[in-house]
A = this chain, B = another copy of it.
Amino acid sequence: MRIDKARDYVVDNLQYALNPSSIAVVGASRYPSKVGNKVVAELLEWGYTGKIYPVNPRADKVLGLKSYHTLKDIHDRVDLVFVAVPAHLVTAIVEDAIEIKAKVLVIATSAFKEIGREDLQNKITLRLRENKIPLIGPNLVGMGSPYNHFNCGFIPYLPVPGPIAMISQSGANLLAALGTSQEDHFGMSFFVGLGNKADVDFSEFIEYAQKDEHTKCLAIYIEGLDSPEAFVAACKKVTKPIVVIKVGGSKIGVKAAFAHTASENPEPDQYYDDLIKEAGAIRAVTWQEFLDISLAVGYQPPLKGDNIVMITNGGGAGLLACDHFERCGLPLHELSEISPLLATRMRAYMPMFGSPLNPVDIAGTASAIQYKGAFKQALRDPAVDGILGAICPTAVTDVSAICDAAIEVYEANKELNKPFIMICQGGKECHDAILKFRDHGIPAYASAEQAVNAIAALRKTAVK
């Protein structure tokens, strides 16, 4: 339901959604195949340290924990009430939650507005608003934070810790990102699926993210905006970079977005383009770009100018990058134009058939020592605004040693505050290097175009 602006009581209470000291899980089943069972199982598995109160009218124990027949039987402070019972039972649960003075209510259950039951959804929402209890959902997957070992919902993974707060209207895409986080070390501070967002809206999680100490950037997936003014106002208040993907702009997508999260999209896609621009956020087009850009702005400082030096041992990666830089409106400059002295110095780190043009091609024979020298010279040159490195594994490339050398140079020159991005294109050793780079705060990607998208986004954060 529409709000004019982010409400303070909601923003304040969201701490109980992401770092509660106690949780009641209503619909906590004894049967492992049921979602209500999974919620408790995942809380336990990922090491939640607060109190868990399963609620189930027909059980005394769930997964070894004492279970309560109703919320009112708990007789203890309950921060978060997580509801996973069929829609027709929810109204009664809401009354109980009000009575026990829960701090936040999460309704995971589907079958509300998205299948035509708008009245029921609105009735519950208004009842909770009267009592100043924020409602997250309904029709959502859950939320969590790796910093709090907190995984609350129908969520098979907890992400690796990192700088990105992901606020997603889609559960499935959020889960995909969490899986990617584990596999590809896409580090997150917290995540939440908003679902139908009957009450708590984007703007409120956006303001919460600004206050969250672990969050360095916001990654927001939108299917529809009920309160665009509140969204823009919240984004403007936030000093951290914001990346947005807005879906459902296609003809059939408008209908699919309604069927999915009851999102209404009466406006053309250009409206969202303008709105996201006004909000000072960066819009991503594809899912991959959304993740790649978020990683970059989460870990790296803004790119203050367009003097980027690319250092590669493979000309092909360099060419893919050149073309994509131009496509992104950020064409590479020749090194001799950026810094004639640097162009001369670079010769020391390459064989005679290398090229100091930019991309600087230090050739397929490049060693970790050559990479290190080239990176150091480029980073320390005052004319250079940012570095893009690429490792292409030839038969003589020691990917792991080059990775370590690059991390060493990066860390020794961190105070220069220049973006440092890597491409590692190849097989297992490249994927391992990507993970290691990311663990050290260096955004690393498997293809040139992904890295260039990341750099283009860092340029945008400088001109926000």
Give the residues in chain B near A115, CB-CB below 8 Å: 352-353
Residue-wise, chain A 257-275 has the 8 Å CB interface mask toward B (1 for contact) of 1011100000000000000
User: A259, B355: Cβ atoms under 8 Å?
Assistant: yes
| Identical copies in the complex | 2
User: A183, B318: Cβ atoms under 8 Å?
Assistant: no
Stretch at the interface among A19-27, A66-74, A168-176: A168-176
Cα separation A318 to B172 with both chains bound (whole Å) = 10
Cα separation A282 to B173 with both chains bound (whole Å) = 30
Residue-wise, chain A 143-154 has the 8 Å CB interface mask toward B (1 for contact) of 000000000011
Residue of B with least CB distance to A396: B35
User: A176, B319: Cβ atoms under 8 Å?
Assistant: no
User: B250, A172: Cβ atoms under 8 Å?
Assistant: no
Give the residues in chain B near A170, CB-CB below 8 Å: 314-316, 319
CB distance from A175 to the nearest CB of B (A): 6
Indicate if A420 sits at the interface (CB-CB under 8 A): no
Stretch at the interface among A209-217, A234-242, A422-430: A422-430
User: A252, B315: Cβ atoms under 8 Å?
Assistant: no
Give the residues in chain B near A153, CB-CB below 8 Å: 395
User: B365, A176: Cβ atoms under 8 Å?
Assistant: no
User: A395, B155: Cβ atoms under 8 Å?
Assistant: yes
Complex partner residue of A315 from B260, B327, B392, B429, CB under 8 angstroms: B260
Once A316-B171, A395-B154 are accepted as A-B contacts, the answer to whether A259 and B352 lie under 8 Å apart by CB is no
Give the residues in chain B near A323, CB-CB below 8 Å: 247-250, 253
Give the residues in chain B near A171, CB-CB below 8 Å: 314, 316, 364, 394
User: A425, B250: Cβ atoms under 8 Å?
Assistant: no
Residue-wise, chain A 179-215 has the 8 Å CB interface mask toward B (1 for contact) of 1111100000000000000000000000000000000
Residues of A near any B CB (own CB < 8 A): 33, 35, 38-39, 42, 110-111, 114-115, 139, 141, 153-157, 168-176, 178-183, 221, 223, 247-253, 255-257, 259-261, 286-288, 312-320, 322-327, 331-334, 351-353, 355, 357-359, 361, 363-365, 392-397, 425-431, 446-450
Give the 9 A-B residue pairs with the shortest CB-CB distance, closest first: A172-B314, A170-B316, A179-B427, A260-B315, A179-B426, A173-B316, A172-B392, A250-B326, A176-B425
